[in-house]
Structure 1
């Protein structure tokens, strides 16, 4: 039985992994913590504290783990993996980036928006385009609040993990939806820079596609672990 650790997106929560938790929980040990400042976990949010929380969780596991992150959660997962690469049996990152200077514009726009506007604009995407999941996504966005986005995007824009990726020699699967246009180039760069990585582009998928196509995401993950 493998252990899988899921890392959710900025502004989301562990609940966003529920389809994968339910599908994989009988065959694997599944851990899906809330990052600082999200869900039930107190804040404030920061990339380094979030990565430390994940690395600490992994350090207490008896064996190495498969680490799965989406969106900014992919960056948190890479930071956590770099804390002790020997603890990572496999790394799966979707819609993430090792270097994202372009998020500065997004951060500046969010600084001008109230939390309610951010929630209204992003809840559809964070629900994977599924109307029945939109209330949960909106609640998670409100809990995280505007400051989590302002801080998280500012830190993401200043971060450059590319010089350190050579240390992550574990097998890696880099995923990205073909409709997640702004993350296609970062995904290609990640797959080219990680020493043992494979790139898999998902037709018609958007950014939070583990909710958009939950069965397909679970199948890709299951295949990789096997």
Structure 2
């Protein structure tokens, strides 16, 4: 997720562009060198394929085609699956090699999507999104950055839009990935800006960690 760039900030490319576009933006100081972690293969939160909760949301129609942002996308499989299903996808990550992986996947099958290399804490979209899919971005950030990140999620999402999120439950200190205790998450995504479901789906086991808690939050 992080590497400095000297290019000016890009706007999200218009929908009529080519199969994929990539922009870059000057990076603010961050605590973790994401590019080095990806190059070293040190990303224990990654899954080999789409998340089971993602597949459930797609099957149920809860996650239907729309303009969607995948922040901290890394090398995850979901952006390509979304693009193939007709979503207008923007992937955002500060690690150039991870963005290049997503860009190559989009180009290989000719789907229309946007791949943006930028600092999460400096990037602003031209217009808010209908939905955001956060599988591993929140848990990869140091907890000190969570309030700023939560504020950005709210700004990136239109009122009434949906945040599809997987709260990592490691049950231990340290990270990344960092434990996203649900009591902490309910305070972080408070009722002034977010509506939580009455009940949550069962947690999903993680292949190398403990489990993740799926949730769909609505932007007030």
Question: How would you bin the TM-score normalised by the shorter chain?
Answer: 0.3 to 0.5
TM-score by length of 2: 0.38
The structure where strand makes up a greater share of residues is: 2
Bigger RCO of structures 1 and 2 (CA < 8 A, at least 6 apart): 1
| TM score, norm. by length of structure 1 | 0.37
